Amino acid sequence: MSLKSLTRTLSAACAFAFAVGAAQAQPYPSRPIKILVGFAAGGGVDTIARIYGQKLQEILGTPIIVENKPGASELQAITPLVNAQPDGYTLMMTSASSMVRGPGVRTDLPYDPLKQMTFVAKPATVEAVYVVRNDLPIKTVPELLAHARANPNKLNYGSAGIGSSNHLLTEQMKMLTKTELVHIPYKSDAEVAREMAAGTLDFAIAITTFTVPFVKNDKIRAIGVTGTQRVAALPDVPTLDESGPKELKDLGNYLFYGLVGPANLPQPIVARLNDAMNKAAVMPDVVQRLEGAQFHAATSTPAEFRQLIEKELAKWKEIGKTVKVGNY
């Protein structure tokens, strides 16, 4: 190599190193942040992502772009997330479905949440409601199970997709109560609620965000609530602990959501994002908007969030020894 060529090579290398160093020296965030959502627009995860995204934009002083990539049990969003640079500019708002329940019962998922995700914050939780078509002769959970046992594989149920929380919770219910129902997957909880109201579906375990309006308008019938407390918007609907059979007591089932990043997200970035999320979670307008959509605002440290994931993942791996999703 000539001296001239060597000089050019060294100059280019120095310029690249300077550019990288300058980029690293910029305060975070210095450009738009993308939040991936593995469900269609209008769904529960999307709603939470947009409520918090608006506040993050104000707190962090940078544009927040919510990008919907629905399908394949959130893999359409998880794949680009885990392959992204750990620089804090590609994040994902996700749910218990892909963080613990899917990985707990499936062996075919090409990712390990504990190894390939950084857990930033748990911003919200929500109950789910057992709902049935109005014209079915079912008004309680025990009546649902009795009807299903008397008519195996005659009732269908909807979910937000294979591996979604309501899919797995229904499969768990089937296992515990020895009932058989036919699964019809959709792309979001909102679709499930609409199909219930249209009479296409017989049964669903769907979050309150989308079921409550249809219940109040007498389009579908609510027969039970997951979790430990009745839903304020449906005070006459008992919890599973109150009216469900013994097999469904003490499950404590509810859905939680999380903001995650790719593995090895630097601690200062995680701390910055966690602080912003927790600040947003206690803002009155955020609490009000979440409650209006039937969600509960929540705060957590990254460590607390990871501990929750570890605990829930272990529980669902145990459940996965008996609950199977298709051939997985």
Give the closest residue to 167 by CA, choosing from 236, 82, 75, 98.
98
Compute the distance between CA of residue 299 and CA of residue 259 in angstroms, rounded to an integer.
11
Compute the distance between CA of residue 314 and CA of residue 44 in angstroms, rounded to an integer.
25
pLDDT at residue 24 greater than cutoff 90: no
pLDDT at residue 157 greater than cutoff 50: yes
What tokens does 2 get? 């000539």
Compute the distance between CA of residue 158 and CA of residue 196 in angstroms, rounded to an integer.
8
pTM above 0.95, yes or no: no
Q: Left (φ > 0), alpha (ψ -120 to 50) or beta: where does 255 sit?
A: beta
Task: Please state at what angle helix 267-281 crosses helix 284-292, rounded to 10 degrees.
Answer: 70
Compute the distance between CA of residue 165 and CA of residue 62 in angstroms, rounded to an integer.
32
128-248 classified as CATH 3.40.190.10: yes
pLDDT at residue 155 greater than cutoff 90: yes
Compute the distance between CA of residue 67 and CA of residue 47 in angstroms, rounded to an integer.
12
Widest CA span in the chain = 89
* Predicted local distance difference test score (pLDDT) of residue 8: 53
Q: How confident is the model at residue 127 (pLDDT cuts 50, 70, 90)?
A: confident
Per the CB < 8 A criterion, the answer to whether 257 and 124 are in contact is yes
* Domains 31-125+255-319 and 128-248 belong to one CATH topology: yes
Radius of gyration of the CA atoms of the chain, in A: 22
* Predicted local distance difference test score (pLDDT) of residue 253: 58
Per the CB < 8 A criterion, the answer to whether 135 and 322 are in contact is no
Domain edges within the chain: 31-125+255-319, 128-248
* Predicted local distance difference test score (pLDDT) of residue 188: 84
* Predicted local distance difference test score (pLDDT) of residue 320: 87
The amino acid occupying position 138 is: I
Better-scored residue on pLDDT, 300 or 97 = 300
Compute the distance between CA of residue 232 and CA of residue 23 in angstroms, rounded to an integer.
49
31-125+255-319 maps to which CATH number?
3.40.190.150
Q: pLDDT tens for residues 170-211?
A: 998 999 999 999 999 998 888 999 999 999 999 999 888 889
Q: pLDDT tens for residues 234-269?
A: 999 999 989 878 889 887 657 899 999 999 999 999
- Beta bridge mates, 92: 36, 260
Per-residue exposure over 76-104, b if at least 16 CB sit within 10 Å of its own CB, e if not: bbbbbbbebeebbbbbbbbbbbbbbbbbb
DSSP H helical ranges for 26-127: 44-60, 75-82, 96, 102-105, 113-116
pLDDT at residue 51 greater than cutoff 50: yes
Among positive and negative, which fits the CA dihedral 263, 266, 267, 273?
negative
